[in-house]
Structure 1
Amino acid sequence: MMMKTQVLLLLLLGLCAAAHAGCNKRLLRGTALDGRWIGQPRASSVGACQAKCTAHPRCLFFAYFSRWKACQLLTNPSYGSYAYGGVTSGYSLKGCQPKPPGKDECKKLAVDTMFHRTSNVGRINNVASAEDCQKKCTAEPRCGFFQYLTSKWTTDFRKNLCALMSGLPSEKKAYGKGIVVSGYSLNQCPKN
């Protein structure tokens, strides 16, 4: 028992240091991190609980109890941790927020790359090119980036579709050849 407590304490100390050092996406299954309780909203999943923690201004980490769909939002991680079946703990993703594009990146079109969505601002059908899609994104004040599905897209109703997205993409993924083009609103470009 003493060894298990020491291992959990070392794990907690390492994770606390990581939580304050930026982005920590690691989830701890079967371990409840214990801290000062600041809220307990209901959540349908671990991901939903993590999103609630990230959105809360004081939440540093969370414990999600799947049996009750209870999401404990926590701060002050100095209280420890304990083994508990059916719980998954993790950290706020505030430190994982995407960075704005640099001067060179913001004007370039990312061919064969799909930017991960945040939330849709709108969709425009029958757009002639990725350049035209970028112009439409730049003209829409809420648009931060876009995805353009070319005429090679697999389903007819989505061909030449310009999807406008808010904010900045959280990740970028390679996609098939000539099927998708992504890019930023020119309003995201540094001014100098």
Structure 2
Amino acid sequence: CVSELYHDTYFQGGDLGSTFTPDAVHCQLVCTFSPRCLMFSFLPASWPKENERFACFLKDSVTNILPKVTLPGVISGHSLKNCNNKIRVCLDKNFPGIDMIGTNYNVTSVTSVDQCKEDCTNDIHCQFFTYVTGSFHSAQLRNKCYFKYSGKGMPTKIRLLDNVVSGFSLKACGKSSLGCQRDLFQNTKFLGENITSVFAPDVITCQKICTFHPICLFFTFLTKDFKDLTKRNLCQMRTSTSGLPTVEIEKEDAISGFSLLTCKSSPSVCPLALHSDAAFLGSELIVQDVNGDKECQSLCTNNTRCQFFTYKSVPSACNQNKCKCHLRISSNGLPTGIQHEIGFTSGFSLRLCKINL
């Protein structure tokens, strides 16, 4: 676990993608929760190129190291995925003097930044906000609260602007008064605006994936008994303007439910169960002989890059008391497919279970 930040340092290469964050600590948090990110480099407010300020570059490396280059003002560091100390993902922090840009979809009149933040937290779509203070140069815009969102849940750009304060919704802190619907609806399909579909081993995992997805509000999970073989174990994530399904239809072997982001308790990644008679597909990292599925999960958890695993306790994969443990990875941290095979046990790395939401 390397938690220190390197000033005037840029990690060269290994780029996975980039986003915009208000500071280096927030960039480190994004890297920690990004499935493949191991390192990051952040360009500060003082960066000479205006359109690159506040850029957060997420990076990966097969060897866990990247060359460092001296670059004045740049702050770099490591993902906290391997840190045993509790990481707080709930950042209740205001960022004065910056405008976090996204899709503005509502503007209200408020008397303080705290009221703006609370209103954003209690709006189903609001992910971040900008509050215009009473000292702003344009009188008609003073004391306005701009609700914002984006497809990734992060600003699409950040600019310096006097007399404004920006911040994030506190839904993940369990501070929303919207409440949540924990019930699961059997043999029911929720329709709405399609976001994406991923593979999940069960409906509980599907609900967690939806909860942590920036714009998923409800989902439908197609079980392993679903008639269409190609759609088995699919977790279909959806949204709508109202936050509710546009239509609910009867569908055999489909289970539907809602994101738990607006619950009074903070959403939890864990516990993550082991799944018997299931093989998680993905890119192979390592294959090793181990003694049992728990040892296989531990091996995955302690490997910096492992996201999920499959343990094969079938005669062809075993030697004496030890059997094959396959450590795997994918671009989004989820299996690229799930096969149901007797004697196989699969599960996820538990490294995010150390994180305190």
Shorter-chain TM-score tier? 0.3 to 0.5
Q: Specify which structure has the higher proportion of helix.
A: 1
- TM-score, normalization: structure 2? 0.24
Greater gyration radius = 2
- TM-score, normalization: structure 1? 0.43
